[in-house]
Structure 1
């Protein structure tokens, strides 16, 4: 997955060497970043001076290019990303646990064991993806990355696990056998086809590939194949070759392997005894006269001498033979740990690699080979740089493990500088951001990267499309109970998980605004409450009251009933402003009043009017409206609905409204009533209040008569 530092637009917005001409025409190239993902829009716009002096807004149509440095993950790649996130999460949890432990807790045997397992888990997932991508099975579409890409990831990650996460207690153990197993697993030489071809021949030594195959088999530690073809030499005519081959066969079969010994000391002793046998074979070979080192086919002695030279551990022979066989530096370094220095330790490997690379540098065209070289050399910054060029996934997860293993140098000032680990993890997160659907995974990586990562994660969450119309919207009751569904629920969970309360409230406010636009005031109020946005909740109440003014009682009753269940939840909110709280209570009470009037439940309606004034929950601008609503109740013939003190309270409020309005406060006390009167003015409003006064006068007269 090579990284690019520029993109070519086809067709080009501006041709080569034409930019100055474009500027001379008063135009330039502008770019705008997408708030949704890592894409950009590129287009031609007027320059600032030209735009100021332009007399017309007309301009010719210009194309807009949408570009991105990353291709969005698709196909098998999305599955790979999702599966490996689980391991990254386990790594994050381990690091979080370390914060409450002693400083070197991550370097303890128990922690190293966990880190090793996580590294092996990464390798296993990569291998599974490689195998899946290699299978010739029907697919919905082409693979985004070929199987060879995952093979490269597998070789790199498994090498890192071998070199830097040994089992506790084996840190100082020789590493040659493990590296040879890795080499034979990922870079198979000699090929199976070559072996099958030679084994099918009666006289395989006559084939030109015989000695290269045999030498490579011994170099790679393929004992069975080497012994098999050494046995075929017993049928050759040279009487000096046959005993040499038989001895060599015995030596190859008896080569000590570390895993067969309980202690390194026993292994070292066995190596010395085995080396003595090799030296004895060399002495026997040197005694063979020059004239007898040939048979009718070739100079077998030179071929055999190269093999013995390898077994002796002669560095120059190992290098020369590997070059002759077309092997690269990796094979030389691994063979070094088997033959030249069988007790080669991990910390000594970089010195050997430096010596080998001077004569056999890595392939400059292969990122994989350069990653291997950097890991063999313990050059971690170089390894991460090449890994990033191969695949941002690899650099991010290697860096995460490297930091946990204390392999990376911390920044000089952690408050001002970003660590290498955070840089590569955030770079991978930016790659994930190329697909907006992966926002959950994107923020998981971002929030694992200190304050910078948290700020980037916040920006991603704030711009996730809520898709409120693509899900079954929950009821207001379920939202108040915490039962939020769909994308908003996922965002809410992410905010709670990473303690991003400010972001959660902001997103709830955004959702509230969306529902306000749809006049779904119940959900809007619930989200504002969840965000503890009391000012916003007050605005929602104003919108609900506005519905009464604009559309009348019936729609108002519906909207006010939707927000009424929130009121009990606000009693335990010390931060809520009393004005907003009383306004909401008034909206609910006033809606209930009109609902009772509609059902002709006049006794309860009269009681609600009195309660509204007694509890002083009505805004002063609504007093006149409520007083006007009392007229039909005051004129109700079957019975008196108000007691004398209650009627006196209504009269007191009426006189206050009229007096205040007459002394310049008509805006404060009559504004709402004026809006309910078509083409109304202050005189019309005062006339309505005179009607209320007349109704009260009649009511008091009825009270007097009935009492008499």
Structure 2
């Protein structure tokens, strides 16, 4: 399973030169992409080698190779639509625990037929001579093979409930006639246009094939033409043969198998009577002017008699293969042939008519006839990894595969093939929703791989482009929905955390905070809020206010989340309300701005490290000319905060109080920061003086 080697064109190292590469202290190395299942292949120094640069080291010689061809043209639709059937099948399997066994059998058959019908549709689509924007990735013949193979699987392993132990010959012949049409309509049309068709070399082979395949209408038409044959002996025999072909018992015509078996025995007795009459024809009367008609007619009767050696010889002469022999065996040799007995018949046929080892379709179908599930999946994976995955998925609940995990790999057979298909899907990164749908049905190992896909998908996001933001949000939404379906809450949080970090790096703080809250990543939330506040430090109040206005809607989100840690909620409230103060300043709403500034300090919404900054901001309000913006109580509040800052800084806690003011100062240290605060102290003193004068005037 899987690709064992990758051919690079042109090669990194010419054939036969690998030892030279090793002797130079280098080797071929590869790195697996975290984004999909591609590889970066390049020349690298051997571990521990001290060799210097060599001719092998070429900076441009890096190959990006993939284990699988990226799905294109018709393939994406094929993958997406069959994934819907797969998803329904998984749901039905879970529901089957509450249902009787017959319900599961009916479900498996129904959904298996859904696969068959869809493959048939895409085969018909691929067969149409349309002008296409790009050539088909897989030919119409490829889909025809998928169609015939999946149909055979349904016939052999997903029969109608109640018919599991019914004779299978007629179903096999019907399958053969649908998928491997012989004889051709053109041959019949050509022969029917002749006045004496028995003179044509294709007449007896066509008639033999028609009887072998059960085409009674065509068989009877050409048998009736023999009533005009110049040999009266042949005419007499054909008159006996025609009603035998007309009345050949078919299982579907009977309500009980017992009645079918009785009718078959009676019919075989009549065939024996025909054989007796044939043997009475003199040797010299068995020829016409063209052929030995007696030998050809004897082959027809030998088929009806159910003589296996005749059927096998006739099939070889007609250019037919083992499939036709096995199907005819269940019609003529053993009309009560069961599915469980088919492998024994197949084994005998294979001794003289083995399947074609160069034809994967033939190898898969021969393995199905033989009941060898392991060989079916092995050949199917070589033909189309889609086929092996979906057959394995159905085979396990049918009991055709051991559900136990292999001790070494930790995988069951079913999971092994489904995981390989999921890995294949990762060759196209946009198929991640389909890939994880398969991963998450494969136990712990599959869940771990599915988690990795979801975690790595956000790595592709380009949040710096505002045009792509809606698409990014849609991807995250998709991932969250997938996590909800499969119960991967920890993964959902991790993905939201990745998205939060990614958006924060591109300064999309509002979206970043939203994802951080969704991830319940409170330390991450704190870092984003700090980043928003740093916008003030590095770019000033205008830029800060612009960014902070975009995080304001997160206040409702964080208040509705009861698990939010209080410290981070307070920090977010501070950032939003502080930005609003600067917005009001720009709008010259000084009175409201001053009131809010006091509230941030009085209610201790502002962190201590921001007290000095707010005090410096208060200068504008303290020095405002037209009217007094602070009450005397407000000013006392400012003075108390100022005194605490100065006192604690003198006691060695300056870092806790002065760090933001120092950063915003674009140079200098705590000493310079304290000097700025002296200006605030002076402004407070003057403001109090204004308050006193104003009060005295009011008193007078």
TM-score (norm 2): 0.94
Could you say if the C-alpha distance between residues 682 and 236 of structure 1 is closer, same or farther in structure 2, counting changes exceeding 3 Å? closer
Task: Give the alignment of 1:589-608 within 5 angstroms.
Answer: 589-608=577-596
Q: CA deviation at 1:155?
A: 0.7
> Which residue does the alignment assign to 1:316?
309
**In structure 1, C-alpha distance between the alignment counterparts of 2:368 and 2:360, rounded to whole Å:** 12
Q: CA deviation at 1:254?
A: 0.9
- Which of residues 530, 533, 547 is equivalent to 2:518? 530
- Which of residues 73, 88, 91 is equivalent to 2:89? 91
Q: CA deviation at 1:659?
A: 0.9
**In structure 2, C-alpha distance between the alignment counterparts of 1:395 and 1:172, rounded to whole Å:** 26
Task: Give the alignment of 1:63-82 within 5 angstroms.
Answer: 63-82=61-80
**In structure 2, C-alpha distance between the alignment counterparts of 1:303 and 1:492, rounded to whole Å:** 71
Q: CA deviation at 1:639?
A: 4.0
Task: Give the alignment of 1:512-661 within 5 angstroms.
Answer: 512-661=500-649
**In structure 2, C-alpha distance between the alignment counterparts of 1:70 and 1:225, rounded to whole Å:** 47
Say if 2:465 is the partner of 1:466: no
Q: CA deviation at 1:470?
A: 6.5
**In structure 1, C-alpha distance between the alignment counterparts of 2:620 and 2:592, rounded to whole Å:** 14
CA contact (8 A) 1:44 1:62 kept: no
The one-character-per-residue Cα deviations of 1:470-507 (angstroms, maximum 9, x if unpaired) are: 775669xxxxxxx9843333223222222222332232
> Which residue does the alignment assign to 1:409?
402
> Which SS does the other structure have where 2:550 is aligned?
helix
Say if 2:142 is the partner of 1:149: yes
> Which residue does the alignment assign to 2:29?
30
CA contact (8 A) 2:405 2:411 kept: no
The one-character-per-residue Cα deviations of 1:389-435 (angstroms, maximum 9, x if unpaired) are: 11011111111111232221222569972111111111111222111
Say if 2:125 is the partner of 1:132: yes
CA contact (8 A) 1:586 1:612 kept: yes
Say if 2:279 is the partner of 1:286: yes
> Which residue does the alignment assign to 1:61?
59
CA contact (8 A) 2:600 2:606 kept: yes
The one-character-per-residue Cα deviations of 1:7-41 (angstroms, maximum 9, x if unpaired) are: 32222211222122212222211111122222111
CA contact (8 A) 1:466 1:488 kept: no
The one-character-per-residue Cα deviations of 1:350-397 (angstroms, maximum 9, x if unpaired) are: 221122112211111111111111111111111111111110111111
- Which of residues 218, 221, 226 is equivalent to 2:214? 221
Structure 2 unpaired stretches of 5+: none
Task: Give the alignment of 1:167-316 within 5 angstroms.
Answer: 167-316=160-309
> Which SS does the other structure have where 1:452 is aligned?
helix
Task: Give the alignment of 1:340-489 within 5 angstroms.
Answer: 340-411=333-404, 417-464=410-457, 465-468=460-463, 472=467, 485-489=473-477
CA contact (8 A) 1:511 1:524 kept: yes
**In structure 2, C-alpha distance between the alignment counterparts of 1:332 and 1:455, rounded to whole Å:** 48
**In structure 2, C-alpha distance between the alignment counterparts of 1:347 and 1:179, rounded to whole Å:** 14
The one-character-per-residue Cα deviations of 1:425-482 (angstroms, maximum 9, x if unpaired) are: 111112221112222222222222222222212222223223546775669xxxxxxx
Could you say if the C-alpha distance between residues 3 and 564 of structure 1 is closer, same or farther in structure 2, counting changes exceeding 3 Å? closer
> Which SS does the other structure have where 1:405 is aligned?
coil
> Which residue does the alignment assign to 1:670?
658
Greater CA deviation, 575-584 or 26-35? 575-584
> Which residue does the alignment assign to 1:479?
none
CA contact (8 A) 2:85 2:111 kept: yes
Say if 2:487 is the partner of 1:499: yes
**In structure 2, C-alpha distance between the alignment counterparts of 1:618 and 1:595, rounded to whole Å:** 17
Structure 1 unpaired stretches of 5+: 476-482
**In structure 1, C-alpha distance between the alignment counterparts of 2:405 and 2:91, rounded to whole Å:** 26
Could you say if the C-alpha distance between residues 569 and 80 of structure 1 is closer, same or farther in structure 2, counting changes exceeding 3 Å? closer
Q: CA deviation at 1:59?
A: 6.2
Greater CA deviation, 364-373 or 134-143? 134-143
> Which SS does the other structure have where 1:31 is aligned?
strand
> Which SS does the other structure have where 2:351 is aligned?
helix
> Which SS does the other structure have where 1:404 is aligned?
coil
CA contact (8 A) 1:43 1:62 kept: no
Q: CA deviation at 1:609?
A: 2.3
Q: CA deviation at 1:67?
A: 1.5
The one-character-per-residue Cα deviations of 1:529-553 (angstroms, maximum 9, x if unpaired) are: 2222111111111111111112211
Q: CA deviation at 1:175?
A: 1.2
CA contact (8 A) 1:508 1:530 kept: yes
Q: CA deviation at 1:276?
A: 1.2
**In structure 1, C-alpha distance between the alignment counterparts of 2:149 and 2:424, rounded to whole Å:** 20
> Which SS does the other structure have where 1:359 is aligned?
coil
> Which SS does the other structure have where 1:194 is aligned?
helix
Could you say if the C-alpha distance between residues 533 and 84 of structure 1 is closer, same or farther in structure 2, counting changes exceeding 3 Å? same
RMSD, aligned α-carbons = 2.4
> Which residue does the alignment assign to 1:480?
none
> Which SS does the other structure have where 1:87 is aligned?
helix
Say if 2:683 is the partner of 1:688: no
> Which SS does the other structure have where 1:552 is aligned?
helix
Could you say if the C-alpha distance between residues 351 and 59 of structure 1 is closer, same or farther in structure 2, counting changes exceeding 3 Å? closer
Say if 2:507 is the partner of 1:508: no
Q: CA deviation at 1:328?
A: 1.1
**In structure 1, C-alpha distance between the alignment counterparts of 2:631 and 2:465, rounded to whole Å:** 54
**In structure 2, C-alpha distance between the alignment counterparts of 1:643 and 1:260, rounded to whole Å:** 104
**In structure 2, C-alpha distance between the alignment counterparts of 1:298 and 1:565, rounded to whole Å:** 94
**In structure 1, C-alpha distance between the alignment counterparts of 2:535 and 2:432, rounded to whole Å:** 38
Could you say if the C-alpha distance between residues 336 and 679 of structure 1 is closer, same or farther in structure 2, counting changes exceeding 3 Å? closer
Greater CA deviation, 664-673 or 363-372? 664-673
**In structure 1, C-alpha distance between the alignment counterparts of 2:128 and 2:597, rounded to whole Å:** 78
Could you say if the C-alpha distance between residues 295 and 546 of structure 1 is closer, same or farther in structure 2, counting changes exceeding 3 Å? closer
Size of the aligned set, in residue pairs, is: 693
CA contact (8 A) 1:446 1:453 kept: yes
> Which SS does the other structure have where 1:361 is aligned?
coil
**In structure 2, C-alpha distance between the alignment counterparts of 1:447 and 1:307, rounded to whole Å:** 56
**In structure 1, C-alpha distance between the alignment counterparts of 2:625 and 2:367, rounded to whole Å:** 99
Could you say if the C-alpha distance between residues 79 and 337 of structure 1 is closer, same or farther in structure 2, counting changes exceeding 3 Å? same
> Which SS does the other structure have where 2:31 is aligned?
strand
Greater CA deviation, 689-698 or 555-564? 689-698
Q: CA deviation at 1:120?
A: 1.3
Q: CA deviation at 1:305?
A: 1.7
Could you say if the C-alpha distance between residues 73 and 130 of structure 1 is closer, same or farther in structure 2, counting changes exceeding 3 Å? same
